[in-house]
Homo-oligomer: A and B are copies of this chain.
Amino acid sequence: MRSGSPGNSVVVLLSGGLDSTTLLSIFKTRGYTIFPISFEYGQTHSRELKSVEDLCSYYGLKGKRVKVEIPESTSSLTGNAEIMARSLEEVGSGIPNTFVPSRNAIFLALAASYAFSIGADRIAIGVNSVDYSGYPDCRPEFISRMEETVNLALGKHNAIRIEAPLQYLSKGEIISVGKTNNAPYELTWSCYRGDQVSCGKCDSCLLRLRGFMDAGLQDPLEYREFPDFYLEWIKRG
């Protein structure tokens, strides 16, 4: 099955969060044929996979969900440690215990395999290195080396491009881009704790709320409790 048309089709890594949803809205606005791919890798916050489904329905896309085991992960994201509660200042300093070793290398290698098989010539990933969580596999050096690597693996010279259009944007800027493209943020999920309501305490909730604040927008999601900085901002009107 080679259903992608060259030059106009993209495999989008969709996690159901803010960044990948913004990515989806960008390629949708540009008229691309989109093949979303998501991963079931034992994440405790599997609530995000519900968001992936909702986003695919919203955009009328057929998503591909791929199961992959992460061997011996010690990450809190795969249930092997406690999710930390840190201040916004601490977030981004050092590699947190949510780090799943080599996750983006695993996901991009799988996405490249998918892109090759369906004939898509690009892959989009929502990594960004400004307000990022300290993960080394979100940096531009990694992404560009990975692009070279998958093309060598596939025996093609520059056949597949890996695009990371959010790479140099802050979370607030990303949300502004998404708003311009009418990204349905009410369908997204960011919280590392996979409950019904976002916790408002984990790294991911803090970065998200700070992003909405910076973009001058209120987050449409429900939270168990808001962090002080967000409450104060809301109060100031």
Name A residues whose Cβ lies closer than 8 Å to a Cβ of B: 1, 37, 64, 66-74, 95, 100-106, 108-110, 112-114, 116-118, 135-137, 139, 141-142, 145-146, 148-150, 152-156
Contacts and interface: CB of A to CB of B under 8 A. Distances in A.
A100 to B, nearest CB: 7
Given A106-B109, A149-B142, A37 B71 contact: yes
Given A37-B71, A105-B109, A137-B152, 19 more contacts: A1-B72, A67-B69, A70-B113, A72-B118, A74-B117, A101-B113, A102-B112, A103-B113, A103-B153, A104-B153, A105-B105, A105-B112, A105-B150, A136-B152, A137-B153, A139-B152, A142-B152, A145-B145, A145-B148
A167 to B, nearest CB: 14
A116 B101 contact: yes
A141 B145 CA distance: 12
A145 B149 contact: yes
Contact of A117 (B1, B69, B101, B150): B101
A102 B141 contact: no
Nearest to A145: B149
